[in-house]
Amino acid sequence: MSVRQSLLAILDQGPCYGYQLRAEFDRRTGSTWPLNVGQIYNTLDRLERDGLVAKGDVDEHGHVYWQITDAGSVEVHRWLASPVERSQGTRDELAVKLAVAATLPGVDVAGIIQTQRRASLAQLQSLNRAKYAGANPDGPEELAWSLVVDSMIFAAEAEVRWLDHTEQRLALHPDHAMALELSTEKPKRGRPVKAGTSLEEAAR
């Protein structure tokens, strides 16, 4: 998620000071991605360095108002008009954990999956409870919050389905036929050993 572009988009609505930016970000995302003030100001410093924002007026309380530049507005419109690009590889901790566990001898992968499924279902139930706890589903803040929560619900549901799928696939190897011994081949320095087609190659 791009904090940089999100803060720029808020500033495109008008000048804000640091704490105000954090509050506006929370309002528009339902506080599902909490930011600390240090992160806000670090981002603002980088945006200023890149010519996308500039310091403006200071009020009687000493708040420095940041304002977007013309280049910053162009960046906001470019961000809103562009699709979010997903990386071709994966660094999802759960996927990597199960992939490694499935190749280790003596590991109870089914137990790992069951433990994760319980946690994923508990998270899903918590998200669903939170979704239906809103008092004003038609308000703009509630709508923004529910969009984020819906995304988290769909992701949790997809994770449970993927766990079921993984469990079914691994059930075809009751004797842990996927276990890999340590390779005796010495990889060349700087070149990882390729054990088949990479995800990047497969996606081409």
Q: What is the CATH number of domain 3-81?
A: 1.10.10.10
1: CB partners within 8 A, 6+ apart:
33
Q: Measured between alpha carbons, how far is 25 from 33 in angstroms, rounded to an integer? A: 9
Q: Which run of H or of E encompasses 25?
A: helix 18-29
Q: What is the mean pLDDT of residues 125-130?
A: 87
Q: Measured between alpha carbons, how far is 179 from 100 in angstroms, rounded to an integer? A: 9
Model pTM score: 0.68
The pLDDT assigned to 132 comes to 72
Give, rounded to a whole angstrom, the gap between the first and last alpha carbons of the chain. Answer: 25
The pLDDT assigned to 184 comes to 78
Q: Measured between alpha carbons, how far is 59 from 18 in angstroms, rounded to an integer? A: 13
Q: What is the mean pLDDT of the chain?
A: 84
User: Model confidence at 143, in pLDDT bands (50, 70, 90)?
Assistant: confident
The pLDDT assigned to 194 comes to 58
Contact in structure between 45 and 87 (CB atoms under 8 Å):
no
User: Does residue 200 register a pLDDT over 70?
Assistant: no
**Tens digit of pLDDT for each residue in 60-112?**
999 999 999 999 999 999 999 888 877 766 667 898 898 888 888 788 888 99
Give the up-direction half-sphere exposure of residue 149: CA atoms within 13 A in the CB hemisphere.
Answer: 22
Contact in structure between 105 and 120 (CB atoms under 8 Å):
no
Cα maximum dimension of the chain: 73
Ranges for all domains in the chain classified under CATH 1.10.10.10: 3-81
Contact in structure between 11 and 21 (CB atoms under 8 Å):
yes
3-state class of 111 per DSSP? helix
